[in-house]
Amino acid sequence: MGELLEWIYPSGLYCLRCNKPIDRRQPYSLCPDCVKQINWANSGVCPRCGRLLDRYAGKEFCHDCAAGEKPFLAGAVCTGYGRVEREWLHSFKYRNQAWLKEPLGQLLAERIAAEKWPLNCVVPVPLHPSRQRSRSYNQAALLSAVVARRLELPHFPDALLRIKKTEAMSRLSAVERRSCLTGAFGINPLRGTCLQHKAVLLIDDIYTTGSTMSECTKVLLGCGASAVYVAAFAAAADIRSESI
Ligand SMILES: [Zn+2]
Ligand SMILES: [Zn+2]
| CATH code assigned at 221 | 3.40.50.2020
213 in Cβ contact with 72 (< 8 Å): yes
Give me the numbers of helices (H) and strands (E) for the chain, helices first please.
9, 6
Considering the domain architecture, whether residues 51 and 103 belong to the same structural domain is answered as yes
Of residues 109, 125, 28, 34, the one with CA closest to residue 76: 109
Both 163 and 63 in a single domain?
yes
Q: Tell me the CA–centroid distance for residue 10 and ligand 2, in Å.
A: 40
Report how many domains make up the chain.
2
Residues with CB under 5 A from ligand 2 (ion): 46, 48-49, 62, 65
How close is the Cα of 48 to the center of ligand 2, in Å?
A: 5
Distance 43 CA to ligand 1 centre (A): 22
State the Cα–Cα distance between residues 141 and 203, nearest whole angstrom.
8
- Statement to judge: residues 77 and 9 lie in one domain: no
The CA 140 to ligand 1 mean position distance, Å, reads 23
Among 112, 107, 142, 141, smallest CA distance to 30 is for 107
Distance 155 CA to ligand 2 centre (A): 26
60 alpha carbon – ligand 2 mean position (Å): 9
Using only C-alpha atoms, what is the Rg of the chain?
18
Ligand located closest to 238 CA: 2
On whether both 19 and 59 belong to a single domain, the answer is: no
Q: Which residues contact 77 (CB under 8 A, 6 or more apart)?
A: 41, 45, 49, 50, 51, 111, 207, 231, 232, 233, 234, 235
pLDDT digit of tens for each residue in the chain (244 aa)?
445 544 544 556 788 888 888 876 666 778 888 889 999 998 899 999 999 998 777 889 998 899 888 999 999 999 999 998 998 888 888 777 888 898 899 999 999 999 999 999 999 999 887 777 777 789 999 999 999 999 999 999 999 999 887 766 666 677 777 777 888 899 999 887 899 999 999 999 999 889 999 999 999 999 999 999 999 999 998 887 554 4
Identify the domain containing residue 7 by its residue range: 1-37
